[in-house]
Structure 1
Amino acid sequence: MVRTHDVCAPATPSAVAAHDLTPLPLAAVTLAPEHELGAWQHVNREQTLPHVIDHLESTGVLDNLRRLTGGTEAPFRGPHFADSDLYKTLEAIAWESARMPDDQPWEPWVQEAAALLATAQRDDGYLDSHVQGNAGEAWSDMRGGHELYLLGHLIQAAVARERATGAADLMDVARRFADLAVATFGPAGAREDGYCGHPEVETALVELYRHTGERAYLDTALAMLDRRGTGALGSAPFEPSYFQDHAPVREVREATGHAVRQLYLAAGMADAAAEVDDPGLRDALAALWRSAHGTKEYLTGGMGSRHRDESFGDPYELPPDRAYAETCAAIASFQWNWRMLLATGEARHGDAMERTLHNAIAAGTGVDGRTFFYSNPLQVRTGHDGTGENTAASRRDWYGCACCPPNLARLVSSLGAYVATGTERRARLHLYGAGTVRIGATTLGLATAYPWDGQVEITVDGPLEELALRIPEWCDGAMLDVDGTASEVRGDADGYARVRLAPGPHRIVLSLPMPVDVLDPHPRVDAVRGTVALRRGPVVFCLEQADLPPGVALEDIRLDLAVPPRVGPGVASLRAGATILAEGIVRATHGLPALTALPRSSHATAASGMLPGRIALRAIPYARWANRAGGAMRVWIPVDEEVSTT
């Protein structure tokens, strides 16, 4: 039944920009469990997935479907799109089945879930536990109903399962629902509102076309893209831009509206553009990328600066304390950039994936694998009221809208798919992590402690003729040693260093210097003027209240840049391979009038007791915050003007 040698990656275009961008079978990459990416996968398998499955039961997601089959009389629970939590979980399990085919403890549970879905499905293929269980009318709310969104996640789970195991049980359910959508919303469909208020089905339909060869799925995705922007979804209670329905997709030049929807839509556009010759889609994608990553992205890779509507703000509107930066938006950005990388071969997309993965996405899961963030601010103030589930102050084991935990599970289980691409003769490495990559008859052994150390040792055993290595945008002075011959190396026009290989085994060592970088904010980001951020390699660091002495408020800390920050030891309990040590000044605000504008000299003299004074600071990886005691946190740290100007 298991055919892991055939397992394709989550997104497998019919054609790519170059042969060395061909996605590899998921089982071709094994990540070492004792190092960062592999350790994350281990926690995901051992902790996150069982936790998610338990909550699908306890929160009513499965009971919502059992209501349709007579299995329970319990009332509907959760958001009306709760079925998608099950579909994401099924996708995560499928990728785990490909990754570890000899150990599939969830197979009976998956078979039971697939049978439940098949029984609950209507005769015409429609499947939505909320609509069916509440005597609703199908397709009556294209703006907010999420029916096609549910179909999209069902398709992705079914494709993953069939690719990973050969089992068609879930695919049978998904295709019946997809065929109904084709008949209703395909090119011949008469509905002008034939597209979903929450984009996601577009990318799924394109992948279903790639998997089955059935052109109708691609044509339906294209028809939905063509209709978007006509305003047919209406505007209540949100404006059309919230749904990306304010302009035709080929005319849009700015990332707007609900961040997850925008980024899933962009991924679908990229998938469609990879299958058809459509310069309009390609031009729009390039403009959207410049807008999102050039003017609306947080340093961590987070997307979406407004709590209102979970949306993008204006260009450079990036307040750290009000950052929404939903975990699902970071995952969607990662998925979009993967598709852009396959289409263009440009390392900047790999850079964006790396930045987002090690910061905005990694922050979404606690080191225990069972606690999560929905929103991901870059600053939490002392005294912050974090009782609302979407105003983060501490991690939660679940959410009323639980889209993020199963989304994290499906991404982490498939991480190996994004490490490398290639064919028998040429290959590229995009993400660095310890493990093994098998490409045809060639085996690449990867030894590294990345992202905590910048040395990546690669052994090449096989007939590979060329290996391209991404040189990260943050790196200066990269060195490359090929079989004992070392030289400084820079990326080519696409950002990769290419190594030509003669027959025979080879040892390649890529050394990426990782000093502590002290980063100034963009001058147009008003909210963080006068501050700096600390980064080492791809990892962004933060100060956390847990590392300060009692009685010292994080808001009173200023960095003394006269003493350069330096690399400190890791913290095993945080699964952090490095910290940053720095010197600070405590500038206390005791005695200052409340919210009064003061002469600059007043801030230096308003102290009590031993303050102001010097303090040793330790910054931890941003992705590991809130794994200890609660309290304040900040990425952008004020610089002590008194010291820095003397």
Structure 2
Amino acid sequence: MRMVRTHDVCSPATPSAVAAHDLTPLPVGAVQLDASRELGAWQRINRERTLPHVVERIESTGVLDNLRRLVGDSDAPFRGPLFADSDLHKTLEAIAWEAARVPADQPWEAFTRAATTLLARAQRDDGYLDSHVQGDEARQPWTDMRWGHELYVLGHLIQAAVARERATGDDDLMTVARRFADLAVAEFGPGAERIDGYCGHPEVETALVELYRHTGERAYLDTAAAMLDRRGSGALGTGPFESGYFQDHLPVRESREATGHAVRQLYLAAGMADVAAETADPGLASALDDLWVSAHGTKAYVTGGMGSRHRDESFGDPFELPPDRAYAETCAAIAAFQWNWRMLLATGGSRHADAMEQALYNGIASGVSTDGRRFFYSNPLQLRDGHDGAGEDAPSERLDWYGCACCPPNLARLVSALGAYVATGTEARARLHLYAAGTVRLGATTLTVRTDYPWDGRVEIATSGPLEDLALRIPGWCAAATLEVDGAAVDATAAPDGYVRAAVAPGDHRIVLTLPMPVDVLAPHPRVDAVRGCVALRRGPVVFCLEQCDLPPGVALEDLRIDLSTPPRVGPGLRSLRAGATVLAEGIVRSSEGFPRTTALLRSSRPAAPSGMLPGRIALRAIPYARWANRAGGAMRVWIPIDEEV
């Protein structure tokens, strides 16, 4: 495939080349989302509630004190996980994208400058900067590559610095980040002799590539590539988890199955995609294709969540997708989103935008409450009645913070930059990947999008300027799209890449894409034993669930079955949940009281005498999965048993 050269823009990821002109990334500020519609409202809540909450918690939980103690401004002991610095860095990145999005109003500039000054003061003369290692004579830099997370912390610092300089032009944070990055290049670059010259938690690779793109300094790209080349040697060792947990079990070009710690795997894949984009490495590209099929074809939840095991926050075996034990960490869904974005720019295939959309509206959105100040770390697809939610790894409700608080600032930085993922292109050729109400500016071309997506499938686009071709994604869930250009019907059959093209002449035009949104009843793959005999409800890209609080008193969610003889249908939205639709269905209550008390977990399937207990019928209302646990505690489930009584 002939690659198209791009230019540096104010965006989280700007490859030097993309697969086609209409895949050229846009600046964060080029897309202004309508704050009265879904994605724009999420950005507004992120700015008004989530980000201020995160900034306050960065202070109150000791993240800044960890750095102050290095310069004599605090005598507090180190607090938080050993990679706590990275929470500050992600917060600074979120603030930078907000500055790019709303340049006229930058309420956190003083915080950023103070934090940057503190980082510069705490930084060692050689550029090293990690508050967990510094200030403790028992610790030395780079002596624990398996668990130390020092390069992980550097990666997030680099991304924050790139975001700040792109958004504001200020190089204060970049000066700090490059000093640390240059030290890492000297220590771990291509000529380094260390066989363990890579991090037990991948992330720095994608950051180093972006730093290369931003500065033009080839050493950063070469160092990222060298780290990938070394990985898989087993040099990191093991304990308490095996090498696969640290993505150190196989060389990256030989690793073809998504495995180990889910966030590590997905960040590694994003870094591989970045290096492949800059070096045209066919071995990396081939491995990425197989990893994608493994992750999304056999190990992804219907919500786009990744990671089915709590023990090591990891991927399980193919089709090992228990809904009640799903870990599906919010950061894993975000990492998958970022990986798919890079794959989309490199290949142009709509399956990557489909995966982004699936994760965004379900597995990512579920990680934050409607008020923007409470969070899920793990995102199960079922919560049983009586669940012990005392532990923060599997709580019964969202918490306002976590001991390991990687997810809240990660959410903040993603949502701040959402505009960069909506569209790509030039003023002559553009693509829409995520449908959202707002305005897209591509040079002299303007696209004004009116839609209530994802609650309604009608997308109206007014174009002005020298636009000649607009590619519109036909989502994989859509069976029969229609397209009109200036009132005339146009064939809406998608090309092999999953997009339909609307050819227009320069000037003003009106394009209407209609994506019918019936309620889909989804059956699981027959090898997913955990949900055999169940169905899930989806409408458009949104997955729905049942909550205990929508049931009459005395009816247990675990006793419900869905009656598919009456097709589920679209119901009214719930303003209290900021949800534009619900799904209505017919259910049957089959009480577990009929089970013999002496064998409470078993019952014979042989015919028995009538118990006098008849199943009761009930109207069911399913809400968007991303909105659960916002009204009250109690049970929840995505996969609903079909009424097939034994």
Give the TM-score normalised by structure 2. Answer: 0.97
**1:409 aligns to what SS in structure 2?**
helix
- 8 A Cα contact 2:484 2:511, kept in partner: yes
In the alignment, what sits opposite 1:181?
A: 184
Q: Which amino acid aligns with 1:102?
A: A
In the alignment, what sits opposite 2:236?
A: 233
In the alignment, what sits opposite 2:11?
A: 9
CA deviation vs aligned residue, 1:72-121 (integer Å, no higher than 9, x gap): 10111110100000000000000000000000010011000000000000
C-alpha distance in 2 between matches for 1:80 and 1:12: 30
Are 1:127 and 2:132 an aligned pair?
no
Change (3 A) 1:604 1:497: farther
In the alignment, what sits opposite 1:114?
A: 116
Q: Give the drift of 1:597.
A: 2.8
- Correspondence 1:527-606 to 2 at 5 A: 527-593=530-596, 594-600=599-605
- 8 A Cα contact 1:587 1:603, kept in partner: no
Q: Which amino acid aligns with 1:562?
A: S
In the alignment, what sits opposite 1:500?
A: 503
CA deviation vs aligned residue, 1:235-278 (integer Å, no higher than 9, x gap): 12111011110110001110010000000000000000000021
**2:513 aligns to what SS in structure 1?**
strand
**1:123 aligns to what SS in structure 2?**
coil
- 8 A Cα contact 1:21 1:422, kept in partner: yes
In the alignment, what sits opposite 1:63?
A: 65
Are 1:486 and 2:494 an aligned pair?
no
Q: Give the drift of 1:489.
A: 1.2
Change (3 A) 1:63 1:145: same
Are 1:639 and 2:633 an aligned pair?
no
- 8 A Cα contact 1:152 1:202, kept in partner: yes
C-alpha distance in 2 between matches for 1:604 and 1:346: 58
- 8 A Cα contact 2:560 2:641, kept in partner: yes
- Correspondence 1:78-117 to 2 at 5 A: 78-117=80-119
- 8 A Cα contact 1:559 1:638, kept in partner: yes
- 8 A Cα contact 2:10 2:100, kept in partner: no
- Correspondence 1:34-45 to 2 at 5 A: 34-45=36-47
C-alpha distance in 2 between matches for 1:268 and 1:584: 46
Are 1:49 and 2:36 an aligned pair?
no
1:626 to 609, 625, 629: 629
**2:462 aligns to what SS in structure 1?**
strand
In the alignment, what sits opposite 2:151?
A: 148
CA deviation vs aligned residue, 1:145-196 (integer Å, no higher than 9, x gap): 0000000000000000000000111000000000000000001111110000
CA deviation vs aligned residue, 1:371-424 (integer Å, no higher than 9, x gap): 000000000000000111011310100000000000000000000000000012
Q: Which amino acid aligns with 1:306?
A: R
**2:133 aligns to what SS in structure 1?**
helix
- Correspondence 1:363-512 to 2 at 5 A: 363-512=366-515
C-alpha distance in 2 between matches for 1:603 and 1:587: 16
- 8 A Cα contact 1:564 1:582, kept in partner: yes
In the alignment, what sits opposite 2:3?
A: none
C-alpha distance in 2 between matches for 1:55 and 1:413: 18
Give the stretch that moved more between structures: 478-487 or 149-158: 478-487
Are 1:263 and 2:254 an aligned pair?
no
C-alpha distance in 2 between matches for 1:488 and 1:641: 42
Are 1:347 and 2:345 an aligned pair?
no
Change (3 A) 1:605 1:411: farther
Are 1:279 and 2:282 an aligned pair?
yes
C-alpha distance in 2 between matches for 1:174 and 1:186: 16
Change (3 A) 1:556 1:484: same
C-alpha distance in 2 between matches for 1:555 and 1:622: 17
Q: Give the drift of 1:490.
A: 1.9
- 8 A Cα contact 2:8 2:14, kept in partner: no
In the alignment, what sits opposite 1:222?
A: 225
Change (3 A) 1:486 1:141: same
C-alpha distance in 1 between matches for 2:612 and 2:177: 66
Q: Give the drift of 1:599.
A: 3.2
Q: Which amino acid aligns with 1:599?
A: S
C-alpha distance in 2 between matches for 1:149 and 1:108: 26
- 8 A Cα contact 1:7 1:164, kept in partner: no
**1:535 aligns to what SS in structure 2?**
strand
C-alpha distance in 2 between matches for 1:453 and 1:77: 46
- 8 A Cα contact 1:301 1:360, kept in partner: yes
C-alpha distance in 1 between matches for 2:392 and 2:601: 32
**1:129 aligns to what SS in structure 2?**
coil
- 8 A Cα contact 1:592 1:606, kept in partner: no
Q: Give the drift of 1:641.
A: 1.5
Q: Give the drift of 1:491.
A: 1.1
C-alpha distance in 2 between matches for 1:238 and 1:322: 19
Q: Give the drift of 1:308.
A: 1.0
Change (3 A) 1:6 1:144: closer
1:157 to 131, 135, 160: 160
**1:153 aligns to what SS in structure 2?**
helix
C-alpha distance in 2 between matches for 1:476 and 1:603: 45
- Identity among equivalent positions (%) equals 76
Q: Give the drift of 1:67.
A: 0.2
Q: Give the drift of 1:298.
A: 0.3
Q: Which amino acid aligns with 1:21?
A: L
- 8 A Cα contact 2:145 2:196, kept in partner: yes
Q: Give the drift of 1:26.
A: 1.2
Where structure 2 has 5 or more consecutive residues not aligned to the other structure, the ranges are: 1-6
C-alpha distance in 2 between matches for 1:606 and 1:54: 59
C-alpha distance in 1 between matches for 2:511 and 2:56: 45
Change (3 A) 1:168 1:59: same
- 8 A Cα contact 1:571 1:579, kept in partner: yes
**2:132 aligns to what SS in structure 1?**
helix
Change (3 A) 1:516 1:192: same
- 8 A Cα contact 1:377 1:392, kept in partner: no
- 8 A Cα contact 1:76 1:133, kept in partner: no
Q: Give the drift of 1:134.
A: 2.1
- Correspondence 1:233-252 to 2 at 5 A: 233-252=236-255
Q: Give the drift of 1:503.
A: 2.4
Are 1:166 and 2:179 an aligned pair?
no
1:192 to 170, 192, 195: 195
Q: Which amino acid aligns with 1:89?
A: T
Q: Give the drift of 1:596.
A: 3.8
- Correspondence 1:258-337 to 2 at 5 A: 258-337=261-340
C-alpha distance in 2 between matches for 1:304 and 1:511: 34
Q: Give the drift of 1:9.
A: 1.1
- 8 A Cα contact 2:58 2:87, kept in partner: yes
Change (3 A) 1:410 1:591: same
- 8 A Cα contact 1:24 1:420, kept in partner: yes
C-alpha distance in 1 between matches for 2:607 and 2:404: 46
- 8 A Cα contact 1:591 1:607, kept in partner: no
**1:68 aligns to what SS in structure 2?**
coil
In the alignment, what sits opposite 2:76?
A: 74
Change (3 A) 1:624 1:601: farther
Q: Which amino acid aligns with 1:333?
A: A
Give the stretch that moved more between structures: 6-15 or 589-598: 589-598
